Structure 1
């Protein structure tokens, strides 16, 4: 009996010592990013077959069956999913804010209103040189603000594409690292050891980082390796076993971007890269509207110009050149070039028929109203997406908190475990001492 008692106590001491080591490791890694709290899995050791001796006592102590990571697969998946949605919303809002700033801060609306106002003032005296000069200057200023707005949008688009490409590069780097971790997990042979737990922590941390950039679907294989698919469950495989494919980005003529994995098209619906791509779509739409407004001004004014004569009685010539926001320009150098009088009128005519036609054409095009609508649409989109971003961030934070409560290290709990396992170790040592005393007593019997 003393021998059995000694082996039971030894197994208990081994379990308690390992549990102390695991607890100490938890405490040491309490602030380690991506670390998942460990615990020891213990099972009873039976000495014989219960079928052979159903009424016998079969006691042989305890044994360690492995190291358990206290992480719930569903909660980890929720953290990745909600975090990916929040990252997409945040990236999209940042991109829309850049579009809004590019147009608002250049003063396009104010310059259009000023140009329309100067044409209205010219009605008071169509032959006044200073009023004509003001029209030319306001037109030149308006054209320059359109140019600046277009340049700012181009710069914002270039920045978004750079950030999107950086995200694509990050996705490829993380995919390669996941493939390497997969290879090490496959070689570990499913051994539930502390080393494998470290690899699983690395795997899960890489997956979470990857989900911040793109929407991923994961499948955990029997050997603990992970298969990763981009673009939802029916998307394209990115990582399979120890092999990682390459995500690529291509830019279209309008500045929008598309993605492919090894030349196979893939649509990203969440993650920061998807947010940048969506912001580029919004930017391209804003740029098209701005070009349409600028082109409408050029067409309206130049068409009206050809229907009248200037102050010197010559046929009206175009005041503006260009077809869009980037190339619109005032080509007239003097106020006398404005064709306010109808065709056939004499030089210095005060007949404002053609000026009225010019103002009517501009009112029909309504550039100030179009710019106002454009700005309102962008600001409304920013406000709406900001609300969505904040809501998604709160959801992602709740999911992260739920996972941290389960997988994170609580120092108070670990302090209790230290005392508990220390007492268990001391108790097992005491049992071994008792077993030794019993054995010595038996030997001393004569």
Structure 2
């Protein structure tokens, strides 16, 4: 005869554990990285059964096999890959937006200054001796030089900002590597199917999500769930065999970033660290282009101004000094030293200056540079939108398997409450039966 007390006890134990598991699910429904858990149960072998043979009708209670997490390894990996791509594009776009803002006329006034310079030159052709217009001409030159210095300063600060962000991200990345190794140690000691093991696996996946969002990583798992982590592409070992190999970042003189591991170069093509590297390259390119434009601009306008003569008949002096955008400065000239005249007349040099306007004049080149930056930013914004959509879709597919559905948990809660009550009733019936049998003796 089956042991009713044993059957009832096993039911109480199993369904109590199941209710506790559902309680954990409900409590962590909004916890990032938490994977829904379920208790795996099976029919217990009765006295006349074995693990190889079970009778058709001979109940023996219920056994707890352990806690299972609702996860799909393929969906998790896909979510990490798409998430890393999204972080890369979002990080890059953030800095490109800042560069576009720094180059914009509202931030530096270069475009307005160039327009004012040529407009004032046109006005001087009609009234070359006008002291007010001459002063305005020199003020426009000073505004342009000041604008170039402003942009150079802002781009320099951006380069420092990108370097600082990369250094901070690398420190966090290395801290996550160390934390992952501690999780590995815990997983090797955890009892299979235990709540502790499930919690460690959740934390392991959270750390892998963070690491994947920072850089490309490739994990493999042993039978305990402990992870060996390598850098994607290069295959460099990051975590494994009880060792942690941190990465490092170095900034060149122009702000470009390079990553390394153990002193050897490390190529990172995804995640926020890749986005920071691309942003650093873009800022460095913009700084170099700005210096080139400032030098060409000063050289072109200096040559044009020196081709004329001032109000005192002296040769025109350079309008600008400096060898880079950061050092570009308007020469301290008085209104009388504006070279408005040339051999053809008192306004000849201003006419020649106005004739510079065209496809290759400073004003057009600066407008073209702004348009190129705007196009680059727009392209980055479109890439970011596509990557974000892809990441959201992958995350939704992953959550469809792993996330907690409160309606489903409520239904399961009622089911196991009733099962618990049935197990308790089994114990009560067994006790009453034994009391009846004993009282009849």
TM-score calculated relative to the size of structure 2:
0.89
Q: Tell me, what secondary structure is at the counterpart of 2:214?
A: coil
Q: How do 1:122-271 and structure 2 match up within 5 A?
A: 122-188=124-190, 191-230=192-231, 232-271=232-271
User: Residue in 2 aligned with 1:377?
Assistant: 372
Q: How far does the alpha carbon of each residue in 1:395-438 deviate from its partner, in whole angstroms, 9 at most, with x for none?
A: 32232233333222222222222221122222223334444455
The question of 1:39 aligning with 2:38 is answered: yes
SS at match of 2:68: strand
In the alignment, structure 1 segments of 5+ residues that lack a partner are: none
Structure 2: distance between partners of 1:294 and 1:108: 11
Instruction: Quote the offset at 1:97 in angstroms.
Output: 1.1
2:25 corresponding residue in structure 1: 26
CA distance in 1, matches of 2:60, 2:245: 51
1:290 maps to 290
Cα deviation for residue 56 of structure 1 reads 8.4
Q: Does 1:406 align with 2:401?
A: yes
Instruction: Give the TM-score taking structure 1 as reference length.
Output: 0.88
CA positional deviation for 1:130: 3.6
Change (3 A) 1:359 1:295: farther
Does residue 1:391 correspond to 2:381, yes or no?
no
2:386 and 2:217 map into 1 onto residues whose CA distance is: 21
How far 1:45 moved relative to its partner?
3.0
The alpha carbon displacement at 1:199 in A equals: 0.9
CA distance in 1, matches of 2:238, 2:120: 60
Shift of the alpha carbon at 1:61?
3.0
Q: Find the aligned partners of 1:239 and 1:253 in 2 and give their Cα distance.
A: 31
8 A contact 2:122–2:351 mirrored in 1: no
Q: Describe the SS at the equivalent of 2:323.
A: coil
Task: Give how far 1:40 is off.
Answer: 0.9
Asked whether the 8 Å contact 1:86–1:389 carries over to 2, the reply is: yes
Deviations 1:81-104 (A, max 9, x none): 222222222222211111111111
Q: Measure how far apart 1:441 and its partner are.
A: 5.8
Aligned partner of residue 284 in structure 2, secondary structure: helix
The 3 A distance-change label for structure 1 pair 162 and 321 is same
Give how far 1:443 is off.
5.7
Indicate conservation of the 8 Å contact 1:102/1:156, yes or no.
Answer: no
Contact 1:226 1:241 in 2 (8 A): no
C-alpha separation in 1, matches of 2:391 and 2:198: 25
Deviation of 1:444 (Å):
6.6
Q: Please tell me whether the aligned partners of residues 234 and 267 of structure 2 are also in contact (alpha carbons under 8 angstroms).
A: no
- The alpha carbon displacement at 1:322 in A equals 1.2
Relative to structure 1, the CA distance from residue 307 to residue 89 in structure 2 (aligned partners, 3 Å threshold; closer, same or farther) is same
Query: Does 2:317 match 1:322?
Result: no
| Residue in structure 2 matched with residue 421 of structure 1 by the alignment | 416
1:2-81 aligned within 5 A: 2-3=2-3, 5-47=4-46, 59-81=59-81
Question: Is contact 2:311–2:337 with CA below 8 Å preserved after alignment?
Answer: yes
The answer to whether 1:83 aligns with 2:83 is yes
**TM-fit CA distance, 1:261:** 2.0
CA distance 1:114–1:419, change in 2 (3 Å): same
Which digits, 9 at most, give the CA deviation of each residue in 1:90-124, with x for residues without a partner? 22221111111111121211111211222233333
- Structure 1 residue 271: Cα displacement: 1.9
For the Cα contact (< 8 Å) 1:93–1:386, is it kept in 2?
A: yes
CA contact (8 A) 1:300 1:361 kept: no
What is the deviation of 1:57? 6.6
Query: 1:63: Cα distance to partner?
Result: 1.3
User: Which residue of structure 1 aligns with residue 123 of structure 2?
Assistant: 121
Asked if residue 94 in structure 1 is aligned to residue 94 in structure 2, the reply is yes
Deviation at 1:16, TM superposition (A): 1.6
Q: Distance in 1 between matches of 2:224 and 2:144?
A: 66
Distance across 2 between alignment mates of 1:257 and 1:42? 54
> Take 2:352 and 2:291, find their aligned partners in 1: how far apart are those partners?
23
Tell me, in whole angstroms, the C-alpha distance in 2 between the residues paired with 1:176 and 1:53: 48
Maintained 8 Å contact 1:45/1:62: yes
